[in-house]
Each structure stands twice: as C-alpha cells, then as structure tokens.
Structure 1
Amino acid sequence: MEINVTVKQLGKKHPILSEQKLEIGFNDSNISLENLLKLIVQQQVEVFNAKSFDLEGEDNTKIPLDNYLDILTDTGKAGFGNIYNQKKADLQKAQENAIQAFEDGMFAVFYNDEQLEDLKQIIDLSLQHTFAFIRLTFLAGSYW
C-alpha cells in the first residue's frame, strides 16, 4: 500500500524537510499506529541497507546546490548522501527505537491534521490522507 508522508520540524525557516510517497507492505485498510510505525521503519531500513557504500573521498554528484546548503545547515545536519559507516541497519533495533522515541515524545504523528497519541489507535488508510511526522526539539537552559 502506498502512503503519503511529510516530515517537518518546528521553528525553522524551512519547516518541511521532505514530502514523499512510501510503499509499505500492508494491504488492509485499518492499521494500528504501532504497526504503521514499524512498517515505515522497515521500509526505510530496507532502503538504507540497499544503498551502496561510497569508499571514495569525494562524490561530486552528491554535493548539494548552494541554495539547498542553507536548508541543510538550518536543520543542524549537513549531509551529502555519503554513508561512511558500512554497517547495515538492524531492523528490530530500529523499530524498537522508533517506538521508544514516539513514547518519549521525540516526534509527533498527525493524520489529516489530527494528532495520533496512542500506539494502539486504529488508522483508516483507505481515506488516503497525508501523514505528518514532526520532530520535536527540547529547549535547554535555565531561568536564572
């Protein structure tokens, strides 16, 4: 099944990091949020593990354009598409991390502008609304 996903972060000039369609291995119209998160992580791990590792020093095809470099530095991570760690991602650990991050409030999930707060909540995928994942950032500092 194909789902639409938007990844955002709050408080930035360019809040939309990416909009994409993901193909997940699920054919039913109703799914729990926990199962959906696991399927999305599975799809992303498969994409990551399928990438080839670049052992050369510089790859000019992956250098971002000048206007995109500002967006990368605003997000706090300027990456150029190279993978330097040659370890494959562990699917089970990645799924556990995603569930734990959701429970800890590291990101919020919205479906048709409605926040999904419970991992057991059932989502109707037949409506084909866009999912929005918003990365939350904690403020640091003190009052005195």
Structure 2
Amino acid sequence: MEIKVTVKQLGKKHPVLSEQKIEINYEDSHITLQHLLQLVVQQQVEAFNAQSFELEDEDYTKTPQDHYLNILTDTGKAGFGSIYNLKKADVDKAQENVIQAFEDGMFAVFYNDEQLEDLSQTIDLSLQFTFAFIRLTFLAGSYW
C-alpha cells in the first residue's frame, strides 16, 4: 500500500524532507500506529541497506544544489551523500528504537492534522491523508 509522508522539524520554515510517497507491505485499510511505525521503519531500513556502499578511490568535491543549501543549513547538518559506516542497518533494532522514541516523546505523528498519541490507536488508511512526522527538539539551558 502506498502512503504519503512528510517529515518536519518544529521551528523550521522548510520541512526536512518534502512530501513523499512510500510503499509499505500492508494490504488492509485499518492499522495500529505501532504496526504502521514498524512498517515505515522496515521500508526505510530496506531502502538504506539497498544503497551502494562502494568505497571511492578518489576524493573529490561534492557540493549541494543551490536550492538545497538553505535546507542543509537550517537543519544544522550538511551531508553530501557519502556513507562512512559500512554496516547494514538492523530492521528489528530499528523497529524497537522507533517505538521507544515515540514513547519517549522524541517525535509526534499526525494524520490529517490530528495527533496520534497511542500506539494501539487504529488508523483508517483508506482515507489516504498525509502522515506528518515531526521531530521534537528539547530546549537546553540552566536555571542558574
């Protein structure tokens, strides 16, 4: 089944990733939030593991496109497509991490502008609304 996903970070004008469609391995129209998160992570891990890990013989300058530079500087991390860690991602560990991160409040999930707060909450995928994953950032500081 194909779902629409947007990933955002609070306080940023531009989404980290624009709306994209991803294919999850699920056919029913109703799904729990926990199962949806696990399927999305499974799809993302499989896509990551399918990327080429070829080592480059020669070091050369990689520069981002002009329109992408603003997004890179807004996120505080500039990446140029190089993969330095050659280990494949573990699907089971990544699925455990996403559930723990959701329970710890590291990100919020919205479906048609309605926040999904419970992992056992059932979602109707036949409505074909866009999912929004919002990364939450904690404020750092001191009372002194």
Q: Which moved more, 1:39-48 or 1:6-15?
A: 6-15
- Over 3 Å counting, the alpha-carbon distance change for 1:27 and 1:130 in structure 2 is same
- Over 3 Å counting, the alpha-carbon distance change for 1:129 and 1:143 in structure 2 is same
Aligned amino acid, residue 82 of structure 2: N
**Aligned counterparts, 1:52-71, within 5 A:** 52-56=52-56, 57-58=58-59, 63-71=63-71
- Shift of the alpha carbon at 1:142? 1.7
Separation in 2, partners of 1:9, 1:67:
18
| % identical equivalent positions | 78
Q: Which moved more, 1:35-44 or 1:68-77?
A: 68-77
Separation in 1, partners of 2:60, 2:118:
43
- Over 3 Å counting, the alpha-carbon distance change for 1:45 and 1:101 in structure 2 is same
| TM-score normalised by structure 1 residue count | 0.93
2:141 counterpart residue number: 141
1:30 counterpart residue number: 30
| TM-score normalised by structure 2 residue count | 0.93
Residue aligned with 2:73, SS: helix
Kept after mapping to 2: 8 A contact 1:53/1:82: no
1:13 counterpart residue number: 13
Moved over 6 A (4+): none
**Aligned counterparts, 1:77-88, within 5 A:** 77-88=77-88
Count of aligned positions: 143
Mind listing any 5+ residue stretches in structure 2 that lack a counterpart? none
Aligned amino acid, residue 44 of structure 1: Q
Separation in 2, partners of 1:59, 1:28:
47
Mind listing any 5+ residue stretches in structure 1 that lack a counterpart? none
Separation in 2, partners of 1:44, 1:87:
15
Residue aligned with 1:132, SS: strand
Deviations 1:43-71 (CA, angstroms, capped at 9, x unpaired): 000000000014114466x6311332221
1:109 counterpart residue number: 109
